[in-house]
Every structure is written in C-alpha cells, then in structure tokens.
Chain A
Amino acid sequence: MRKNFALTVSRELSNNSSSVLLLGDIGVHAFRDSLKEFPERVYNIGILEQSMISVGAGMSLEGLIPTIHTIAPFIVERALEQLKVDFGYQKLQGNVVTVGASIDYAALGCTHHCPGDVSILLNIPDVQIVVPGHGEEFASLYAETSRNGELTYTRLSETSNSAPQKVQFGKGLLIREGYEVTVLCVGPTLDLALEACADLNVNILYFTTVSPFDSELLKSVCTNGKVLLMEPFYEHTLSPLIIEALSPLSVQIKSIGIPRRFLRNYGTSAQHLNYIGLTVDNIRNTITELIGA
C-alpha cells in the first residue's frame, strides 16, 4: 500500500504544479526522487507535526494542494487541533495520509499504536475518511478526493486484501448477498470476512470510505437490523453511524475490531489480531450469536 502511495503522489507531483508534499521525516526514502525533482514542492519538514499541519493549511490558503504524511498518532493525536481548526474550521483542502494504522507497529509498543484515529477524526465536521484495503484502491480513491476541496484523511495499512475492488469514494460495495446478518467490512478486513463467511448466508458489504458514510447502501440490504462490523480500528467506532442509518429499525450490532484498551504486548500485528479475535473462528461464532439473537 505504501508503494502505491509513493507512486500515486509522485505522479500527482509531476502532473500538477499546485501539488505539494510535506513529510514529517517519514517516507523520505520512498519519495527520494520527488525530493530531488521538485525541491520547491516536496519538503521533509522535520519532526514537528503540529506546525507541519498548519504550514500545510497555509499552503492551502494560497491555493496549493498539500499532501501531508507521517505516522498516524503523531498527526491525528498530537496535531488534532490543527486539523480541526486550520483545515476543518477554515474549510481548507488538504490530504493527510498516514502509515502505522492501529497496531501495525506492534513491536514498537503503544506509543506507536493509533486505533483511535477514525473515531477521533469523525468529530471534525465534513472530514473525509478513507480506509483503502489495497494499494490500487488507494490510487483511485486519492484521485477522487485529493482535489475535491475537502480535508481527507487516508489511512494506509501494512495489511492488505489480496485483490483490489472497484471502489468509489463515498460508496460502499455489496460484495455478496444473503439475509441472516449484514457483515460490514472496512478496508483490509475484507479477505478475513470472505474466508470466514464462505458458507454463511450473509450480506457482505465493503467500505473504503468511512466518512461520508454510505447509509443508503446499508439501509437497502440490511432489513433485519443484525450487523457485524469488521473494524480495523477501535471496535464500535461505526456503531453510531449504523444506528442512525438503520433508524427506526431496532438494531443488534457486534463489532470485531481493536479493543479499547492499551495493547501492551509487542510481537507482530498478526499476533495481536489473533489475540484480540480478528480470526475466522471468532467471526463465525459472532455471526452465529447474531443469528440466534
């Protein structure tokens, strides 16, 4: 996914003279050619995330289109107010693309985890939140969002689905039809859901845009209110959106995502996902519970 990010944004820098890239001393090797080719528009700004966001906002005030990149917690959690005020409140266009989704950097410990990014950013009115499940999806979603006048947060993950889907910004996809439960997968959770649900009679929805949320699609397929969320971030981040989308239908929501506690172990993200239940067995058991509920 990171390779697609570097390729896509490098191409954008070549094709669009108003495009600028600000790196928080992350991704410097990946963008080494762009740094040489466009020294006036590609900056390794340094490790000062709050000012990096504000500098990007200043560039946006002047009509440039900034893409700003570093590790998720250092933008979302440290520079949240800059995102809220400088971009959100001022209605400025900008693209924030992070690496280190949730527990991707498991071995580095909790300082580098960021499973709260989506739930935090949903508090910024009008923010666009994109969670690609494959590198090629990043390319098409960036093409749709990067110049559409809004603040877009795109969450790159180390985990990827095996194949890209034909995704469209702001729209979910109905991957498979069923009726007992609606399984709503976000970004890189799709492969796991497909494996777990191979012989189950469920709807499988695939969302790569979290905000704006495609309520219409969910409403059109989920008639019994039974929803299993597959969230690559904090569990139940999307539950309020599900309740609102299906209102006045009574809903039963289960979420398989990152639990809301500090995950103090190290190892790999795969070990963590196994430990916290993002597994085929847990998905099947949870669906069975929902069917019987």
Chain B
Amino acid sequence: MNISKEMSSGLEINSLRAQILLMAQKSGEGHVPSSLSILDLLWVLYTRVLTIDPSNPNLENRDRFFLSKGHASLALYSVLSARGFFPKSELENFCEFESILGGHPDRLKVPGVEASTGSLGHGFPQAVGVALALKIKRNPSRVFVLIGDGEANEGTIWESALLAAHHNLDNLVCILDFNHSTDRALKLGEISSKFMSFNWKVKEIDGHNHEQITKSLMPQLSSKPLFLLAHTIKGKGFSAMENNPEWHHKAPNKEETKTFLGELN
C-alpha cells in the first residue's frame, strides 16, 4: 500500500508522540519511553514496508508484524489506528475496563495485532513458527518481529535465533530496539556479532532515521534471516524522559503532559 512519504514527516511522528502521551496521562497507565523508542520503526514499517490492508487485517498474503516487547503497545495502537485498523476514538479508552486496548496487546481484541504478547520472549519464537508455516504454505509474505534489548536477556530469544538460522528463514526479520534498557542489569555486549555468529545477515541503523529504516527493510536476496540492530533512544522526543529510567512505567500527570507537549511545538 503506497503512502506518501510526506505522511511520515516529523509532524506526523510528533502527532503520534502527543497521542501516546495523552493516552498514558488519561489512563494513568502505559510504558511511554519504550513506546517512543520504537515509534519511528513502527511508523516506517506500517507506511513504507509492510504489505497490509487495514480493511482486511487477516488477509492471507499480508506481511506479519509481531511486537514481541508487548509493553510498548501504546506505539502499536497509535500506528495501527493511524493506518485505519480501528477508529482513533478507541485510543481514548486505553486500559479502561471494557477497552479493546490493554497495557499489552490482545490479538483476539485488536484488529491488526498478530499475537498476544506481554510476557517477554514469546513473540520471537512465535514469529519463527509463523515464518516456518509460511514456507510450508508456500506463502511469500514476510514476517517481522520487534524485540527489546531487555527482552534479549531471555533464553528463548537465542533459541529463536538458532532456530531461524538453522531453518534458513529468509522470510524473517528480527529488529532489536536497542534503547539500553538492560544496561543496568545485564549488558548484551556485541549483539551484532552474536547474531552474525548465529548465521544471520546483520545490519545496524539509527532507529529514528526513516530513510535508514526503510532502506534496511527492503526485500533482498539472501538465504539468511535478517537481524536489524536499531540504535534508539528510550523516551525519544521528550528531553526529561529520554534515557531516564524513572519514566519506564510511569504516566505523566496533566502538568507534566503540558510541559512535554510544549517540546513538540
């Protein structure tokens, strides 16, 4: 689906950032900085890369996207809504009792969500299963999975890396949102070389640079799965929130929201 590049301008991203902030402020919930670190990646995926049809979310020949770090759901909901998977009015109900939009995405409730994630380390191996299934079904669609660097502490991430390479899943792309969440606990070291040693094709990009994201995710001839190390900033766009662990699972109050929104202007 072609969307003009103008739509992915800074203006559009800022509008989504504001939306994320307002959803968190209204609900008192959400992982805002984790969502902001992946927002550019999601926006480019959903506007320039993925073959999707928001009016038919289960289209057989769609590309599949898995948000393995499900706590960044605010970003996913904002982008899915912007692309028309569900009305924007739903965003106002984030985390309310009867809302379809929870702190972690539920595939049985939210159009466009491929898997119910939240427990870290589950989305990646499911994406491997889907990539393998598409091969079995001779379906040429691609599978994208986005994991966090904290999530990469989980053993299933490395099990999945091993499996995907072993089965030559060239239809699979794993994007790592490297926002340094895990530095305080367990440093990942040279991640790219690790994936390279697992026999993945590896690229490194600035995860906020739309041109780099787009270029790195274009289909290419390789028999290997693709690992994309995206250098990102947790809390990107709001200076007091950027790389500040205090905000990991904290919703801004009205006054803080006003201050943050002022930065967008």
Contact = CB atoms under 8 A, between A and B. Distances in A.
Interface in B89-143: 107-108, 114-116, 118-119, 121-122, 124-137
Nearest to B139: A62
Nearest to A85: B119
Contacts of B125: 50-51, 54-55, 58, 82
Interface stretch (B152-160, B181-189, B234-242): B152-160
Interface string A50-63: 11001111111111
A90 to B, nearest CB: 5
B114 A48 contact: no
B49 interface: no
Q: Considering residues A20, A51, A85, which has the most beta carbons from chain B within 10 angstroms of its beta carbon? A: A51
A81 B119 contact: yes
Contact of A54 (B108, B133, B134, B156): B156
A61 B114 contact: yes
Contacts of B18: none
Interface residues of A, number: 27
Given A61-B115, A61-B130, 10 more contacts: A46-B162, A54-B126, A55-B129, A55-B132, A56-B129, A59-B130, A59-B136, A62-B137, A85-B118, A90-B107
Contact of A58 (B118, B119, B132): B132
A62 B116 CA distance: 15
Contact of A85 (B116, B128, B162): B116
B136 A51 contact: no
Contacts of A45: 163
A282 to B, nearest CB: 43
Tier of interface size on chain B: 20 to 34
Q: Considering residues B129, B134, B135, B137, which has the most beta carbons from chain A within 10 angstroms of its beta carbon? A: B129
Contacts of B124: 54
B163 A51 contact: yes
A85 B122 contact: yes
Contacts of B116: 85, 89-90
B136 to A, nearest CB: 5
Given A90-B107, A90-B108, A54 B119 contact: no
Nearest to A45: B163
Nearest to A17: B136
A54 B159 CA distance: 11
Contacts of B119: 81, 85
Interface in A24-68: 40-41, 43, 45-46, 48, 50-51, 54-64
